[in-house]
Structure 1
């Protein structure tokens, strides 16, 4: 997919930004290649145009698709691997896909896991980063604040939380 100047995009590691330019750049000892300049609040980054798909760069999810993602957040969670190292590798792999679907699924699954038992340090960190990323994109797509987006996401997740007696 070719992006246009002004497109609002999401990078899985760096979040939301605007396509500010498409320019020929030469980094290191490689020849010149076309790069997208993506501007964010406090930084700019360059993503090679030919590598946009492998980098996970994509357009911000349209508002019209949020209804589907509300259903994803309210759907049954997928149990996570009990082995902490394996679980982290799987979660990172899912998030590296860069899709909004995978972000919603990881949020749902980690949240549900935290209802069953306390999350460890790595899972807590992954959950917080996922929550921040999801809230930022949800807010952008819906045209609301990140705080409002977080409240809506939490409400959707809590609507499917089993009663305490069911967790044991």
Structure 2
């Protein structure tokens, strides 16, 4: 997928950013390649255009996408691996994909796990990071504060708990 200058994008490791320009660069003595210059909240990154998809660079979700993601958050949670090491590896692998659908599923599933027992430290960190990413993108798509986005997401997860906890 080709992005245009000015377009808002999401990088799985760096979060929300904006394409500032497209330029040819020669990095690390290699051949000159075209790069997206992406300004994020904390820094500027350069993503090779031909590697954009494999890196996980994707468009920011739109208001129209919200209904689908609300549905994911409200759907039945998926049971996670009981072995904490394997569970952590599986969650991290899923989050590396950069897909917002996966982020929603991880937030839903780890939150549901807290309904039975407390999370271990690794799961707590994974949930916090995924929830933070989801809130930032949700807020950007709706043009609201991250606190408002967090409240809406919490309400959806509470509805999920009411609908699926006893099943």
TM range (shorter): over 0.9
1:43-122 correspondence to structure 2 within 5 Å: 43-122=43-122
* Residue equivalent to 2:150: 150
Q: Is the deviation greater in 84-93 or in 51-60?
A: 84-93
Q: TM-score, normalised by structure 2?
A: 0.95
Q: How many aligned residue pairs are there?
A: 166
The list of structure 1 runs, each at least 4 consecutive aligned residues, that deviate by more than 4 angstroms after superposition, is none
1:24 matched to 2:24? The reply is yes
Three-state SS of the structure 1 residue aligned to 2:87 is helix
Deviation, 1:166, is 4.3
After superposition, the CA RMSD in angstroms is 1.5
Task: Supply the distance in 2 between the matched residues of 1:68 and 1:23 (Cα, whole angstroms).
Answer: 35
* Residue equivalent to 1:2: 2
| Structure 2 unaligned spans of 5+ | none
Check the 8 A contact 2:72/2:105 in 1, yes or no.
Answer: yes
Deviation, 1:162, is 4.3
Deviation, 1:161, is 1.2
* Residue equivalent to 1:12: 12
Task: Supply the distance in 2 between the matched residues of 1:28 and 1:82 (Cα, whole angstroms).
Answer: 43
Q: TM-score, normalised by structure 1?
A: 0.95
| Structure 1 unaligned spans of 5+ | none
1:160 matched to 2:137? The reply is no
Task: Supply the distance in 1 between the matched residues of 2:122 and 2:138 (Cα, whole angstroms).
Answer: 24
Residues 100-140 of structure 1 show CA distances to partners (whole Å, capped at 9, x for unaligned) of: 11110000000001111110000000000001100000001
Deviation, 1:19, is 0.2
